[in-house]
Amino acid sequence: MSLINEYRATEEAIKELQERLKNLSQDDKLKKELEFEGKLRTLMGEYQKSLRDIIALLDPEAKSAKGARAAKPAATKRARKVKQYKNPHSGEVIETKGGNHKTLKEWKAKWGADVVEGWATLLG
């Protein structure tokens, strides 16, 4: 995009955002919410209370629910099973838990992944 196109697009975006801001500033609901927020913050300052104090006062269960959620043990990954691959061409045997084995990768590149997976037996 050329610099002049970027400039014009930015200018247009600014105009749209200014129009949205103008419409929002005339909204009665927004005015009431801003008034409420201002009064609440003044009251909080007057009584030296934080937002956490207000939440604890209005919803005492919120803290215990959050603590209970954090107390759950993290799910552990399922252990991979050992596979044994026997190459019918060379008779070579490989045992691995994953597909990141050097020789296994070479076999898959040479004979194809589907063929090599056919050579696998699950050991447990």
Total structural domains within the chain: 2
Highest mean pLDDT (candidates 20-24, 64-68, 74-78): 20-24
What was the pLDDT predicted at 67? 56
Question: Looking at the domain assignment, is residue 97 inside a domain?
Answer: yes
pLDDT at 64 over 70: no
Residue 100 inside a domain? The answer is: yes
Please give the residue range of the domain that contains residue 117. Answer: 82-123
User: Residue 16 above 90 pLDDT?
Assistant: yes
- Select the highest-mean-pLDDT range: 24-33, 77-86, 92-101: 24-33
Report yes or no on 72 lying in a domain: no
Query: What is the C-alpha to C-alpha distance for residues 99 and 88, in angstroms, rounded to an integer?
Result: 19
8 and 61 within one domain? yes
Residue 88 in any domain: the answer is yes
Average pLDDT (41-50) is: 92
